[in-house]
Structure 1
């Protein structure tokens, strides 16, 4: 535990993928006074974020070695890959580790079956969005009440059904008023 008044070390963090997760993570890290660079390959999304983020957003594909070199992967403390594609996130983390000796890599995965593979291939921290969403739902709903109906896309998408008890925190709420992560679709 840090002592009160102790200053946090400023880190250089590269975030790959400017979706909701990458964008919000970048804003949070900038507010915590870290040096952050958000890398986005979609020109339209980059143009949308550039007026707000300025020098904290870079147009390019972080899965390309030259782009990682240009954004300073060799001096980054952490690279966080949060694109919408598991395989792209793995490539980014492996390039960062192998070519640029980035000390710490973090990857978001959607398919729970990829967790062991990512770990075996050297990704330091893995954020399994399926587990996160499931955990959040279980906090709101009795886990014994979740009934799997259909699994699609090799486990990346699961449709579940539940019955909500009258004393549940979500009882009586409209579905649109229930706060669920961005990855959760209703």
Structure 2
């Protein structure tokens, strides 16, 4: 595999080193001459001094034959430009961009970047797992689809404990796909499956309904669960959001 790494800072340096150790062909593009010298001394002739956002540099680097372009500079705009040009002009099969500001993640996805990596989002996800007052964890976001796979832990005081899935009003297009009990046993749900206290619920939901889903699965009786007349919610039973559970 031929991988081009745009950005020769600490992230780019260690990434290139690991890729080289995996017997991949690697080229690092870096503007700073001192960083280029360090990479050349430690890793060999695998560095090109230049701007990874400029087409001329990309031509010299061989973007046209690259299997993957990984942009890991400290500037989100540079990472976006490098990956976009790689994808559009050079038809690189796989582009990966480092995101320093998590707010830019949705923009990167909409503009066609295959994979985004955000250290801030990763740390936040880990914190969310440790905080009982924030029981929802985002596991996966589908590129361009506006859907997410999330995990929600059902507290003992939740209004949904002891209720069948068909009787729980979820946001439209939200579906529970797996329940994992307190003992770690997974259960593929049907419409008659009962939700138990401490269940870990894996669900697919539109991004904009994430917080609503969390409230429904964690709020105590008399809390924020909506009525069937509220906008944006499906109806319980086979005619509602649980048609897949036949």
Relative to the length of structure 1, the TM-score reads: 0.68
Report the alpha carbon displacement of residue 134 of structure 1 after superposing the two structures with TM. 2.2
Q: Give RMSD over aligned pairs.
A: 1.6
* Equivalent residue, structure 2, for 1:89: 79
- Asked if 1:50 corresponds to 2:67, the answer is no
Q: Match of 1:107?
A: 97
**Alignment counterpart, residue 18 of structure 1, candidates 3, 8, 29:** 8
Alignment match, 1:67: 57
Pick the structure with greater CA Rg. Answer: 2
List per-residue Cα deviations over 1:24-55 (Å, max 9, x = no partner): 11000000001011111111111222111221
**How many positions carry a matched residue from both structures?**
134
Corresponding position of 1:33: 23
Deviations 1:70-106 (A, max 9, x none): 0100000000000000000000001101111111100
Give, in whole Å, the separation in 1 of the partners of 2:123 and 2:47: 28
Structure 1 unaligned segments of length 5 or more: list them. 1-10, 146-186
Distance change in 2, residues 1:136/1:18 (3 Å): farther
Alignment TM-score, normalising by the size of structure 2: 0.52
- Aligned pair in 2 of structure 1 residues 143, 26: CA closer, same or farther (>3 Å)? farther
Deviation of residue 138 (structure 1)?
A: 5.0
Output the CA distance in 1 between the equivalents of 2:57 and 2:120.
29
Gaps of 5+ in 2: 135-246
Structure 1 residue runs of 4 or more that deviate by more than 2 Å after TM superposition: 133-139, 141-145
Sort the Cα spacing of 1:101 and 1:47 in 2 relative to 1 into closer, same or farther, 3 A.
same
Q: Determine whether 1:135 maps to 2:125.
A: yes
- Specify the alignment match of 2:173 in structure 1: none
